[in-house]
Structure 1
Amino acid sequence: MASPVLQTFRSMAYNNGWANHRLLSACTGLTQDEFEALRTGFFPSLRATLNHILVIDRFYVDALEGGTLGPAAWADDQPCRDIPSLHAAQAAVDRRLIAFCEQLDESGLTGCTQVHRATRIQHERTDRLLLHLFQHQIHHRGQAHAMLSGTSVPPPQLDEFFAEEEAPLRSREFSDLGWSEALIWGETGAG
């Protein structure tokens, strides 16, 4: 079983993937016009906001994996024009982040990640970079959640963190994702 610190980062990665799945699943009920409509937020639409999450996730996950993608990540700041393609692309980067966190050990958390910026390479502790990435995702998902409130689709609950007694409420989504409570919490016989 992983140390409590490692388990926290791993469960954060799973929670991030689940929250994205839950939010994007709700967004499948939007019309294309609702997806693209101008709204109040840091980015001017659900399409722009959700694509921003994807693009920045790709940027940081690539760096965490040792890649050099850098600013090329946002050469197209809205690579997904519709919800199905965005959902698939976000799920793919979420799986990469989970895999990265699953393979981490204590020394990896305190190791250095090189983030390729436009004019320099930023050297950042891996644990700090992960926490920054999780905070970024939560921040912008919250904005998308608020935007969704102004559509025909009710926003899903995103403010929980795998409360033990609420496992039955997420079991269908976990099944869709191929996950189990045991997998996320590193229990013997997980899978």
Structure 2
Amino acid sequence: MNSLSPFRSMAENNAWSNHRLHRACAELTFDELTAERTSFFPSIHKTLTHILHVDWYYLDALERGGRGLGIFKDVAPFTDFAALRQAQREADRRLVSFCERLASDAALDDEVQIPREHYVQVDRVGSVLLHLFVHQVHHRGQAHAMLAGTRVKPPQLDEFFLAAELPLREAELRELGLPVR
């Protein structure tokens, strides 16, 4: 395993985890998705929307897209869960592709400029990716916990990395076009 492998694997895990979580959430009605619940963002829908907004924000910085904080102007861009789900899948593909394009360990030290309200934060690609992965896991866990309070059983999200668990995820990896390993 080289130093880029964990970044690529985390991006793939993120796509797979979102796929599983969104598939389960798609069984809920829109009223159930938007019902007020106990969490940092008070509904499953708001939590999933926040995950996507932050993915867009950091992907924009990593890809030098130039949109910056403008990404957050529309705080509720999705009134249709299918559109939110599709947008998350596209963001996940972008993140996987970004990590696949990292050419060498040195790329992890490249500079990233992250526009903040009153300044531009300068950080390293590797640090921004790690921050993004932790952010995703943190809020996906909140959505998972809120889902546990509904009629839909939360999906298993922690059987990605171990070889013995490949049969539990193989069909979904193929469906997402991710490497089967």
Q: Normalising TM by the smaller chain, what interval? A: over 0.9
1:179 CA drift (Å) = 2.2
Preserved CA contact (<8 Å) 2:148 2:154 = yes
Normalising by the residue count of structure 2, what TM-score does the alignment of the two structures yield? 0.95
Secondary structure of 2:79 counterpart: coil
2:60 aligned with 1:69: no
- Once residues 64 and 144 of structure 2 are traced to their aligned partners in structure 1, the CA distance between those partners, rounded to angstroms, is 32
- The amino acid across from 1:12 in the alignment is M
Ranges in structure 2 where 5+ consecutive residues have no aligned partner: none
- The amino acid across from 2:38 in the alignment is T
Match of 2:2 in 1: 4
1:120 CA drift (Å) = 1.5
Match of 1:87 in 2: 85
Q: Which of 31, 51, 56 does residue 49 from structure 2 map onto?
A: 51
Normalising by the residue count of structure 1, what TM-score does the alignment of the two structures yield? 0.91
- Once residues 82 and 163 of structure 1 are traced to their aligned partners in structure 2, the CA distance between those partners, rounded to angstroms, is 35
Match of 1:38 in 2: 36
2:157 aligned with 1:178: no
2:129 aligned with 1:139: no
- In the TM superposition, structure 1's runs of 4+ consecutive aligned residues that sit over 6 Å from their partners are none
Match of 1:163 in 2: 162
- The amino acid across from 1:180 in the alignment is P
What is the number of equivalent residue pairs in this alignment?
180
Match of 1:188 in 2: none
CA RMSD of aligned residues (A): 1.1
Preserved CA contact (<8 Å) 2:159 2:168 = no
Preserved CA contact (<8 Å) 1:49 1:144 = yes
Q: Which of 5, 17, 25 does residue 19 from structure 1 map onto?
A: 17
- Once residues 131 and 170 of structure 2 are traced to their aligned partners in structure 1, the CA distance between those partners, rounded to angstroms, is 28
Question: Any idea what the Cα deviations from partners look like across 1:48-80, whole Å, max 9, x if unmatched?
Answer: 000000000000001000122111111112212
Secondary structure of 2:4 counterpart: helix
Match of 1:99 in 2: 97
Question: Any idea what the Cα deviations from partners look like across 1:150-174, whole Å, max 9, x if unmatched?
Answer: 1111000112332101111112211
- The amino acid across from 1:54 in the alignment is L
Ranges in structure 1 where 5+ consecutive residues have no aligned partner: 183-191
Q: What percent identity do the matched residue pairs reach? A: 52
Preserved CA contact (<8 Å) 1:174 1:180 = yes
